[in-house]
A = this chain, B = another copy of it.
Amino acid sequence: MTDAVLTASRLLVAVSARSLTAVGEDVTLPQFRMLIVLASRGALRAGELADLLAVHPSTATRMADRLVAADLVDRLGNPENRREVIVQLTATGQQLVGDVTRRRRSEIAAIVERMDPQLRGSLVAALRAFARAGGEPGVDSSRDAGALGWS
């Protein structure tokens, strides 16, 4: 059973990576995760961003540096609280996320199209049950789905 889940999982990761390279743009997968989080949650403090990505704050700082250099995100000072830094997508960043997401969705849709319709329905129910059975405080499914860009 785990075998089946893992295979499906690998397939999705492959689709995800392919959609990214297909669009061109020299963005790594971790960087794209950051863009996705910003697209789904809007502007965020650096620390929140690090938490959502489950990385060290310094990692988020440096990843943001590179994305600023690529003109995909902006860093804003917050006049209210000057120790906080707000990160948000630029217009270019928004467009990139949109392009990749569109492509990815169409690839997934094509796969689902090829599935036996009967099985399509049971897939969702079974996976939900699996995730629920494995549910734990640290795993917030809606958050994670968003972070990966599949919400």
Interface residues of A (CB under 8 A from B): 1-15, 108, 111-116, 119-120, 122-131, 133-134, 138-139, 141, 144-145, 148, 150-151
B6 touches A145 (CB 8 A): yes
Collect the chain B residues with CB atoms within 8 Å of residue A108's CB.
2
Q: How many copies does the complex hold?
A: 2
Cα–Cα, bound, A116→B123 (Å): 14
**Main SS class of interface, A:** helix
In whole Å, how far is A92's beta carbon from the nearest beta carbon of chain B?
26
A133 touches B111 (CB 8 A): yes
Collect the chain B residues with CB atoms within 8 Å of residue A151's CB.
3
Cα–Cα, bound, A134→B115 (Å): 9
